[in-house]
A and B are shown apart, each in its own frame.
Chain A
Amino acid sequence: MTLETVVFGLVALALLGGSLGVVLTPNLFHAVLYLAGALVATAVVFLLLDAAFLFAVQLLLYAGGVVTVLVFAIMLTERLIGERITQTNRHVVNGAVMSAAVFVGIAGFIVRSSLPAAESAPADRTVELARALVGPFAPTLELLGVLLVAALLGAVYFARTED
């Protein structure tokens, strides 16, 4: 048992546990917290996969930004004080069956296909990533900027108060 495997197992457990918490807990606020945990676990997975830059990005954007935004949204839409933030799920059985079926499908593909073996750990690729971003993928980066501006404008428009 290598260290890597053990860590992987632990992180996997954390990730799965967090995910299950997200979808199963009735309290929405708890769900967001579980999500935060799952996102952190994902970041560690990234780290295990030798993507240090993405580990950082994940933590910053996801676990930091998205979770914060979600919390704000919940607070704006649910009256925390005095009201139970609860919900009963609908059609749990159907959803479980469907999801299980999808999983079986995907797993089937994975199992049947021939996957490349693990290679030696490559060197840190952050510099390569940076070069690629301003090189061949520069236009895409610019477009992403445009998208973010559009999203910002859209969010501002939607969230504005009617005067």
Chain B
Amino acid sequence: MAAPGLAAYLILAALVFTIGLFGVLTRRNAIGILLGIELMLNAVNINLVAFARFEADLAGLIFTLFVIAITVAEVGVGLAIVIAIFRVRRTVDADHLNLLRG
């Protein structure tokens, strides 16, 4: 078998993305949802790096770097919010966090 081509990496990334989406949709715990988001971002990174490799374009790598940095910031702030909510509502169950209900 030849070396895995771009398609293989893209399919792998798509799978991880899908699994992450599944996690976001189904997890009840707020932190669980954040984990799903992590997976989705991860999949995007794999995509970017794969394209950078196969198209010999540096932009993919730079993009990935920035995405990682931003993701870290996002996780930090997100978890701070979760903790703040937990303090007020004593729960992180996403089903109960429906104050924005119409």
Residues of A within 8 A of B (CB): 1-2, 4-5, 8, 12, 15-16, 19-20, 22-23, 28, 31-32, 35, 38-39, 42, 45-46, 49-51, 53-54, 57-58, 61-62, 65-66, 69-70, 72-74, 76-78, 87-92, 94-96, 98-100, 102-103, 106-107, 110-111, 115-119, 122, 125, 128-129, 132-133, 137, 140, 144, 147-148, 150-152, 154-159
Contact mask for chain B residues 1-30; partner A; CB cutoff 8 A; 1 contact, 0 none: 111111111111011111111110111110
Main SS at interface, chain B:
helix
Taking CB atoms, residues of chain A closer than 8 Å to B84 are: 158-159
Taking CB atoms, residues of chain B closer than 8 Å to A70 are: 31, 34-35, 75, 79
Q: Which of A45, A116, A159 touches B54 (beta carbons < 8 Å)? A: A116
In the bound complex, do residue A151 and residue B77 qualify as a contact, i.e. CB atoms below 8 Å apart? Answer: yes
In the bound complex, do residue A74 and residue B31 qualify as a contact, i.e. CB atoms below 8 Å apart? Answer: yes
In the bound complex, do residue A115 and residue B25 qualify as a contact, i.e. CB atoms below 8 Å apart? Answer: no
Taking CB atoms, residues of chain A closer than 8 Å to B56 are: 119, 122
Taking CB atoms, residues of chain B closer than 8 Å to A31 are: 32, 35
A22 to B92, CA, bound (A): 18
A57 to B27, CA, bound (A): 28
Using CB atoms, name the residue of chain B closest to A131: B58
In the bound complex, do residue A8 and residue B4 qualify as a contact, i.e. CB atoms below 8 Å apart? Answer: yes
A38 to B52, CA, bound (A): 21
Using CB atoms, name the residue of chain A closest to B8: A8
